Amino acid sequence: MTVLPKPDLRPANPNFSSGPCAKRPGWSLQVLADAALGRSHRAKIGKTKLQQAIDLTREVLQVPADYRIGIVPASDTGAVEMALWSLLGARGVDMLAWESFGAGWVTDVAKQLKLPDVRIFEAPYGALPDLAAVDFDRDVVFTWNGTTSGVRVPNADFIPANRQGLTICDATSAAFAQKLDFQKLDVVTFSWQKVLGGEGAHGMLILSPRAVERLETYKPAWPLPKLFRLTKGGKLIEGIFKGETINTPSMLAVEDYLDALNWAKSIGGLDALTARADRNFAVLDAFVGKTPWLANLATDPATCSNTSVCLTIVDPEVTALDAEAQAAFAKGIVSALDKEGVAYDIGAYRDAPSGLRIWTGATVEASDLEALTAWLEWAFRNQKAALKTAA
């Protein structure tokens, strides 16, 4: 088998994982030196830092002043589950799913909560369901950006301003890279380890006044574990939204999140973060546009994610293989780039169609993606050569 020569230029940072994601440019362990280690999160220093994290989140993400922002356990998953278990059941609910995590929320609502009035709108990987069919007199649950499919809603125009139900939005791979229309969203959740490259285990729960009203006027029929409780005596537990977390947070992770937020603020805030992600996506999109063996999994360009870019291999000789062999071909590309130290963790999500998933969020440098494209071509050609030799 002929082995092609390796490209001369290598990415300076090979971390293209879709979560945890690359740290911000210039990051080092030294930025954590001021962490409140060995101190109680309920001491003044701990509460101050947690409140700073909430305040900077509001500033950088441009969250309206009358929305509550809380730091909650168990990453984005914990934040979504708190919303589902605490808010749903007051009226019918429409569930939207077009990738793995959205499908997970459908399972929780339909099979775990077992709500009696659930409508499910699903679409295959690469597409969106019919958004025009959604009834916003009901509660609606959806992901803004499908991390495992690379498909996002292009905007919030499909959500009416005069809706009767609540909109619950899992925005974990969209927040800080895409403009979220908070006036159309009643619950927004995300985690630190996505667009800002923070550490895992902590989630953010953002509530509109309408969501707070629901919490204070509706009591679910099922018991809620302590980690999910947002009210006491029929009133919102305000401390959660002032840095008084339900359980003990990692002050090391808090310090890292503060560093990421301060970096985001220093480069120009949300507009700059979104522009970086857009430029990064443009690099990959241009490569895909001139590469016949590769395509975006998203079938509509208007729905292509600018963070979690999912790509499928469309070379005729590869697509002629059975599903197992196609998956092995893609894994061969991933493995080759991993061994070379030029791209880590870029395989498609385990439940998604085989292919590649490359993170292009704001902490990634466009120059590293430019360098990666040549290596993608190199790995593909070597895999094709190996395929022909095996045949």
- What pLDDT, on a 0 to 100 scale, did the predictor assign at position 1? 55
pLDDT band at 2 (very low <50, low <70, confident <90, very high): low
**Are the C-beta atoms of 359 and 309 separated by less than 8 Å?**
yes
3-state helix, strand, coil in the chain (%, to 5): 40, 15, 45
DSSP characters over 306-370: SSEEEEEE--HHHHTS-HHHHHHHHHHHHHHHHHHTS-BS-BPPTTSPSSEEEE--TTS-HHHHH
Q: Quick one: three-class SS letters along 152-164?
A: ECCCCCCCCCCCC
Q: Does residue 356 have a pLDDT over 80? A: yes
Nearest to 251 by CA among 46, 42, 8, 21: 46
Stretch 75-85: mean pLDDT:
98
| 295 sits in which H/E element | strand 294-296
Tokens (6 digits) for 211: 């969501």
pLDDT band at 26 (very low <50, low <70, confident <90, very high): very high
Q: Does residue 361 have a pLDDT over 80? A: yes
Distances in Å between the alpha carbon of 294 and those of 234, 319, 373? 54, 11, 11
Structural domains present in the chain: 29-265 (3.40.640.10), 269-390 (3.90.1150.10)
Cβ neighbours of residue 76 closer than 8 Å, sequence gap 6 or more: 170, 172, 189, 190, 191, 194, 203, 204
- What pLDDT, on a 0 to 100 scale, did the predictor assign at position 390? 79
* Partners of residue 203 on adjacent β-strands: 72, 191
- What pLDDT, on a 0 to 100 scale, did the predictor assign at position 389? 87
| 189 sits in which H/E element | strand 187-191
pLDDT band at 63 (very low <50, low <70, confident <90, very high): very high
- What pLDDT, on a 0 to 100 scale, did the predictor assign at position 388? 83
**Are the C-beta atoms of 195 and 60 separated by less than 8 Å?**
no
Distances in Å between the alpha carbon of 12 and those of 42, 288, 308? 40, 22, 20
Instruction: Give the tens place of pLDDT for each residue, 273-309.
Output: 999 999 999 999 999 999 999 999 999 999 999 999 9
Stretch 40-58: mean pLDDT:
97
